[in-house]
């Protein structure tokens, strides 16, 4: 078991290093290649969406009898659809904007469907946090590779969110970002967004292969 855990810590390291290497490589690429790679229909954005869907499928296949895995899969599918811009692809405008629900130009049926989806997502997310987060924290304190992989993915998510709209955020505190800074921030934001499902995938693989119930919070046999 210890050997297996060490292997999956190495897997986490390889996955994180690969993401950071891609970010550096794209940062050093010329502008036309960067634009092609970072385009909304380009490889990085597409792979991000595919990564979330693969994670969800694995959860459903490996743990289809577990309510927590079904809930986590639902959240992952929502994140994948968000990467594919489904939040505004089939509706008048983005269902995540307040204006969508207040505008008289948006049909009531659209508002109902969009609002219902977001409510369902919120309910599932809150339920997961309330029932599984304490167990996840215990697994993280024990250094379980699955929990560590997810933690790195969440860290990537936080950093990417901080880099999103960096020039606007800096302007809000009286600072002006250079064009080069904005471009580099955009590269890292998009690449780290790809890293989120990559690290989640590493965590899911470790979770299944080692038999550790880090999502549900149960302890593996032989641990304290």
At 103-154, the pLDDT tens digits run 888 889 989 999 999 999 999 999 999 998 999 999 999 999 999 999 999 9
- Can you tell me the distance from the alpha carbon of 91 to that of 104, in angstroms, rounded to the nearest whole number? 14
Look-up of token digits 């890293």: 195
Provide the 10 A C-beta neighbour count for residue 87.
20
- Can you tell me the distance from the alpha carbon of 208 to that of 188, in angstroms, rounded to the nearest whole number? 30
Q: Are 146 and 212 in contact (CB under 8 A)?
A: yes
Per cent of the chain over pLDDT 90 is 55
At 160-208, the pLDDT tens digits run 999 998 888 888 888 888 888 888 999 999 999 999 999 999 999 998 8
Task: List strand residue ranges (DSSP E) for the chain, in order.
Answer: none
């Amino acid at each position: 078991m210890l050997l297996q855990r060490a292997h999956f810590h190495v897997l986490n390291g390889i996955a994180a290093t690969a993401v950071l290497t891609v970010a550096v490589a794209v940062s050093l690429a010329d502008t036309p290649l960067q634009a092609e790679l970072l385009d909304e229909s380009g490889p990085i954005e597409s792979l991000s969406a595919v990564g979330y869907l693969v994670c969800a499928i694995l959860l459903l296949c490996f743990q289809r009898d577990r309510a927590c895995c079904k809930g986590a899969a639902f959240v992952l599918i929502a994140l994948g659809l968000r990467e594919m811009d489904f939040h505004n692809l089939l509706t008048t405008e983005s269902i995540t904007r307040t204006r969508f629900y207040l505008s008289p130009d948006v049909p009531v049926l659209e508002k109902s469907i969009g609002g219902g989806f977001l409510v369902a997502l919120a309910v599932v997310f809150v339920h997961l946090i309330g029932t599984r987060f304490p167990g996840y924290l215990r697994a993280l304190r024990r250094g379980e590779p699955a929990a560590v992989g997810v933690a790195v993915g969440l860290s990537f998510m936080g950093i990417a969110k901080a880099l999103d709209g960096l020039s606007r955020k800096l302007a809000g505190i009286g600072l002006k970002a250079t064009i080069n800074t904005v471009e580099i921030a955009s590269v890292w934001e998009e690449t780290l967004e790809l890293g989120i499902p990559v690290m989640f995938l590493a965590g899911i693989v470790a979770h299944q292969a080692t038999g550790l119930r880090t999502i549900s919070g149960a302890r593996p046999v032989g641990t304290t």
